[in-house]
Amino acid sequence: MSTTLEPTGTPVPSSAARGITGASVRPGDRVFLGLSRGAGLLILLTMASIAIFLVVKAIPALQANTANFLTSTAWFPDQSPAVFGIAALVFGTVMTSIVAMVLAVPVGIGIALFIAHYAPRRLATALGFVTDLLAAVPSIIFGMWGLQFLTPHMEGLGEWLNTYLGFIPIFTNTLGLYSKSILIAGVVLAIMILPTISAITREVFVQVPRDHIEAALALGATRWEMVRLSIFPFAKPGMISAAMLGLGRALGETIAVALILSASYDINRHITEPGGNTFAANIALRWNEAGPIGLSALVASGLVLFVITLVVNMGARAVIARRAEFSGAN
């Protein structure tokens, strides 16, 4: 920052520096500041209006419901009296998302690490392009692929899990049927969220200071020790935020899950057996056939999903803000 000296010798910021600090703001800066504030307020107003809309539309169903909204597994909002709850929907949404995260997070981080620090430049560019291209595939394509191709080919895996890991309750299959299960839906979701996790993690890995990497190697660390001691500690907030953003998409996926799951309202802890339902899939399947209270009940379930997704994304933002490198505090 350039300065000028007064006769007393006290440094005084120049006019350019004063313009940067805000003492003399140029018209273009005022316009940009106003547009930025307006955009931020518009986002907040949009989120608030969505929340208000969901609450208002959900009130009639919540008032008419005779069952416990949080613990009931029944879904008969249009009968008299109305009986419905979200327990089965919560279970299905959480279980499919957990399966997707268990599969997608390690693979996504591994792909990002390979592209950023292991692969030759040409191969890294091509692999990154192919991975990111998965994000452009419509959900309906993933659902059709999962229903027509993945479901028949997952039967062998389901039998193997039941035979060798059946002592674990989630892998037990007492029906002998392995189609339309939470496991298959989770695998499809894992493929769908893989580009999000991989792309964000890759960008974080690239930002690791080169000095940290070279210092670790110069001290005699192996490649894995360098990754564990230099890359992972720096990239940990970014890795967590990438995983949580992927979780946000998994929670709200609609068409792909609706095509694969059998849309039942029972809580089935055996993920290889047919059954299960999610918030988004239930809304997509029931919307056209629902009555007035049924539509309100679906909106109420959407309100719960809205809150869950909002909490997940706020958590990701909070993790990012803990490190000045990612939050822009520097």
CB atoms within 10 A of CB 155: 14
Q: What is the pLDDT of residue 52?
A: 95
Q: Are 238 and 105 in contact (CB under 8 A)?
A: no
User: What residues have CB less than 8 Å from 321, skipping those under 6 apart?
Assistant: 327
Query: Position 316: which residue type?
Result: A
* Rounded-to-integer distance, Cα 262 and Cα 150, Å: 15
The position carrying tokens 């995260």 is 101
What the block records as the tokens of 12 is 């005084």
CA distance 230 to 245: 24
Q: Identify the helix (H) or strand (E) that includes residue 162.
A: helix 155-164
CATH architecture entry for 75-327 = Orthogonal Bundle (1.10)
Those residues with Cβ within 8 angstroms of residue 312's Cβ, 6 or more apart along the chain or in another chain: 244, 247, 248, 251
What is the model's pLDDT at position 323? 58
What's the confidence (pLDDT) of residue 83? Answer: 92
Contact 285, 292 (CB under 8 A): no
Q: Determine the straight-line distance between the first and last CA of the chain, rounded to whole angstroms.
A: 17
Q: What's the pLDDT at 2?
A: 47
One-letter amino acid of 241: S
pTM score: 0.83
Block means of pLDDT (10 residues each) for the chain, 330 residues, are 48 47 72 90 93 94 91 90 92 93 94 89 86 85 91 89 90 87 93 91 88 87 87 86 88 88 85 89 90 93 91 77 54
Q: Where are the domains of the chain?
A: 75-327
C-alpha–C-alpha distance, residues 286 and 298, integer Å: 8
